[in-house]
Amino acid sequence: MLSLKAENISKQYRLGQVGTGTLSHDLNRFWHKVRGKEDPYLKIGEANDRTTKGLSDYVWSLRDINFEIQQGDAVGIIGRNGAGKSTLLKVLSKVTKPTTGRIYTKGRIASLLEVGTGFHPEMTGRENVFLNGAILGMTRKEITRKFDEIVDFSGVERYIDTPVKRYSSGMYVRLAFAVAAHLESEILIVDEVLAVGDSEFQKKCLGKMNDVTRGEGRTILFVSHNMTAVKELCSKGILLNQGQINYQGDILSTIIEYQKSSATESSYIYNGNLDEAIGNENIRIKEFLVSPIKGELLDIDSGVHVKLVFHNYCPNITLDTTFELKNYEELVIFHVGNPVSNSDSKIGEYTVEFDIPAGLLNAGNYYFRLYFGKDQKILLLGVDNFIGFEVENVKVGTMMHIYPGVTRPTFEYKVQTP
């Protein structure tokens, strides 16, 4: 049974600040549209068409999105930052309207988008639970029946009668997820806000979402940069790139396509506003570079030098970084983590460098998964498929030798002859 359908969905935003005359312009545009006429403010030589890349002050965040989702499907929506994932969820949740296209849904939608979305900061946790239920069309009796279960799952019982503006971001997310998952909606939409909070609660959330889709037959749309979580929860996937669908199919094939597209970039350097760099309120990544230790080509004899530069916003904690290297078959090559401070971390810039020695990696394509942790138990930031690189083969004489396996070590042989 069809649960959700997107038909030619596109979303356009205006760039820059809204200046004077904007309201009158919008009214004039609306009047021209009603009469079937062109946009009166369209510049000469520009087209009123998203397929044409003009020089106007507008940008298409989504372009021609089409898909169908059946009841009970768990669909992972993946892609790099800026691909349009969060915008798509907002459109599907009816937080914002699409510029063009239509959305068909069967049943009620509960969504967990940005931290704070759907909660009134001046109201208590208890009041917000009832408010969200009312928005979904549930009666007070139905909400009361679920209330104890929601509070118990969220773990904020002590603060349930406190205004949510006094909650930490982790408490906010725990209560918001509990509300979205336990209230009786047919479709659950979850953005990557689950990155906030400790790893135990994240596991708890994934377990609940598994129950929702497999046990209760509800539909889930899940956005995350954590490919392990996506693969564990979802059976189908949609890959977004620059506002368009690049691929859709079973989740493993979708993840592999994502990794292939991500692995073309072996460096990341951000020189703009640090608040817009990859990361969150805890960590912002400034640089991640992969280069050969010797020579100019990454091959099995060159070795690999890795450099990470990041800005830490969390003082007085034990800060640690973990690097996990995988190949396209999702096989972990190594997983190495080290603290970069004791319990006295400072706010500011940190640099971490290490070498993968020559003779370890076989020829092939690899990518990094990166984690930042607090006190060895709380995840501050996780980034999947962040930097990819290819290790080239080398020629031996005139023949190109290709060896199986993920490693290619060089051993010293001691041979005794007769």
**pLDDT given for residue 45 in this prediction:** 42
**pLDDT given for residue 124 in this prediction:** 94
Strand pairing category for 74-78 and 58-70: unpaired
**pLDDT given for residue 350 in this prediction:** 95
Residues of the chain with CATH 3.40.50.300: 2-6+66-261
What is the DSSP secondary structure assignment for residue 295, as one 8-state letter?
Answer: S
Question: Amino acid letter at 314?
Answer: C
What is the DSSP secondary structure assignment for residue 43, as one 8-state letter?
Answer: P
Which residues are within 8 A (CB) of 41 and not within 5 positions of it... i.e. 6 or more apart? 25, 28, 29
Give the number of other Cβ atoms within 10 Å of residue 203's Cβ.
12
Evaluate if residue 68 carries a pLDDT over 90.
yes
Q: Across all residues in the chain, what is the average pLDDT? A: 81
Q: By mean pLDDT, which of 177-181, 339-343, 351-355 is the weakest? A: 177-181
Spatial distance between the Cα atoms of 302 and 290, rounded to a whole number of angstroms: 12
Contact (CB, 8 A) for 357 and 403: no
- Start-to-end Cα distance in the chain: 75
Evaluate if residue 54 carries a pLDDT over 50.
no
Residues 351-374 pLDDT 10s: 999 999 988 888 878 888 899 999
**Counting beta carbons within 10 angstroms of the beta carbon of residue 55, is it exposed (0 to 12), middle (13 to 18) or buried (19 or more)?**
exposed
Evaluate if residue 6 carries a pLDDT over 90.
yes
Does the domain at 2-6+66-261 match CATH 2.40.50.180? Answer given as no
Residues 124-139 pLDDT 10s: 999 988 988 887 777 8
**pLDDT given for residue 366 in this prediction:** 87
Spatial distance between the Cα atoms of 11 and 103, rounded to a whole number of angstroms: 13
Q: By mean pLDDT, which of 8-17, 58-67, 270-279, 282-291 is the weakest? A: 8-17
pLDDT grade for 391, boundaries at 50, 70 and 90: confident
Token pair in block for residue 399? 């023949």
**pLDDT given for residue 31 in this prediction:** 77
Residues 305-329 pLDDT 10s: 999 999 999 999 999 999 999 887 6
Contact (CB, 8 A) for 393 and 300: yes
What is the CATH T-level fold of the domain 267-400, as seen in this structure?
Answer: Coagulation Factor XIII; Chain A, domain 1 (2.70.50)
Q: By mean pLDDT, which of 195-204, 333-342, 345-354 is the weakest? A: 195-204
pLDDT grade for 236, boundaries at 50, 70 and 90: very high
**pLDDT given for residue 201 in this prediction:** 75
What is the DSSP secondary structure assignment for residue 392, as one 8-state letter?
Answer: B
Evaluate if residue 301 carries a pLDDT over 50.
yes
Residues of the chain with CATH 2.70.50.60: 267-400
pTM of the full predicted structure? 0.60
